[in-house]
Chain A
């Protein structure tokens, strides 16, 4: 189980990269270029609030998992 938790760390890092891609290129940037006020606000929130929290946060979580920080003996 401890090794499985470590290996899954790679999945969380990968997921962080995928969400970063979707947040920036599918949700964020296209919204900024529509010229509508409400889209701009939404785009800014996605790019500067949601993306860093999800991607950086999930990335760090994945790294910690991969490096065994969540192993039973370290909790």
Chain B
């Protein structure tokens, strides 16, 4: 018994470490998207460059289901262990190479093209990795404890994001801004190869999953996993139910808590970028143990209601939570301390003209510090450079820095969203594994997971930004909450489908 438990911990350790590194690799790209946009995409228009990176980011998500199909099939044909070794190497190699690509200034359009290819490879690898790791762990777990043991795999996505934020913060801390901008941003990509190599060495010595080994020995593995998974009506109905009754809602709740919240803090609340990363990091750190708690809870009370409760809470509370977040930095509610106001003017002479920088900084009675910077572009004679519409070219940037109670209130509000994530995400690996038979498990569970998480979740930033800008154009007073309609509606539909159609007999088939 003791020996079995030790083996199980080894399985969990090896699987989780690899999956953690894959998530780290995947998130590093998103976390550094602003720097990457200036390095790899034409810099004539910074917004276009940034959006191009986001498009690449989306491409990374869109290919994940294809990775799920390709590697899922492989995993059901030749085994879980070898397949998720391949995905690990593919991910590590692609991440390392992104860190090696010369910038657009050096090799022109080849740079963004190579980045796009490598990003697609990352998406493919991730599509194959998760299902393999979850299946591998579940097939080692004792009956009735799958929720608990697979929940360790579930912590890796959030922890991977946390590690990526920490690595970026540390790199920024030890380098000057110039060094980071020039070459420091490559370090988080390059160190991935070391982590992948260590994980490879650990995984190499692991055994194949006992359930798959037994199925193979008995000649019960599938000859055509794709056809048996999706061409068979009986199995396809479970794939669709897993997607629309669980994975779809899980995907949007996951993305809202981890990514929409970050983007909201930076672009709507104008919070200082490092502070926003730190707030999210703290909330992630405190929230991560709850994946295991929710996984274990699902072994006792069932997966269905733990997941669906998380979705329902999200539907009911997202708007109040984001309203409260918005009000934390709403300067209309605050009183400025007149003595703290500082105004500074700077002039920087450049090759093509002069940048006139006006800095206005002040502190409010609750400790909030605000810095407002307006940069006007002037020609060499000191006259304003005009845009096409005759207005002066001017860039304005506001940064808010929180202190004291406001800071912790914001951590608390993000933490609540992380708790919802742990409820929907903690038990989902066990749920997906348990509804499909061993011979087509890897393929069948990977697709709904990656469509739900990758496509429904991955497109959340784009769809929510679209909804928010539409609301702003229509002068809606609460335009900043409009983007939430996407996760709210998707979660609500998912909740209804899940609560009606997922039945006990479906999840207790002992496959």
Residues of B within 8 A of A45 (CB): 58, 62, 459
Give the shortest distance, in Å, between A67 (CB) and chain B (any CB). Answer: 10
Bits for B113-148, please: 1 = Cβ < 8 Å to A, else 0. Answer: 000000000000000000000000000000000000
Given known pairs A5-B500, A38-B48, the reply for A49 and B62 (CB within 8 Å) is yes
- List residues of chain A with CB within 8 A of the CB of B237: 61, 64, 69-70
Q: 1/0 per position for A4-28, CB-CB distance to B under 8 A? A: 1100100010010000000000010
- Given A5-B501, A8-B500, A72-B505, also A38-B241 (CB < 8 A): no
Closest A residue to B62 by beta carbon equals: A49
- Whether A70 pairs with B62 at a CB distance below 8 angstroms is no
Say if the beta carbon of B337 comes within 8 Å of chain A: no
8 Å CB contacts to A: which residues of B49-63? 51-52, 54-55, 58-59, 62
Give the docked Cα–Cα distance between A42 and B464 (Å). 13
* B170 at interface by CB-CB < 8 Å: no
Decide if B378 is an interface residue (CB 8 Å cutoff): no
Task: Please determine whether B501 and A65 come into contact, CB atoms closer than 8 angstroms.
Answer: yes
Given contacts A8-B500, A42-B55, A69-B237, contact A61 B459 (CB under 8 A): no
| Residue B169 interfacial (CB < 8 Å) | no
**List of A residues within 8 angstroms of B59 by Cβ:** 41
Q: Point out which of B59, B62, B237, B497 has the most chain A C-beta atoms below 10 A from its C-beta.
A: B237
Given contact pairs A4-B500, A37-B51, A72-B503, a sample of 12 additional A-B residue pairs in the complex whose CB atoms are under 8 Å apart: A5-B501, A27-B466, A45-B459, A50-B459, A57-B243, A61-B240, A61-B244, A61-B497, A69-B233, A70-B237, A70-B501, A75-B505
| Pairs A–B under 8 Å by Cβ, sample size 11 | A4-B500, A27-B463, A37-B55, A38-B51, A42-B462, A49-B62, A50-B455, A60-B236, A60-B240, A61-B241, A72-B503
- Interface residues of chain A, those whose CB is within 8 Å of chain B, are 1, 4-5, 8, 12, 15, 27, 36-38, 41-42, 45, 49-50, 53, 57-58, 60-61, 64-65, 69-70, 72, 75
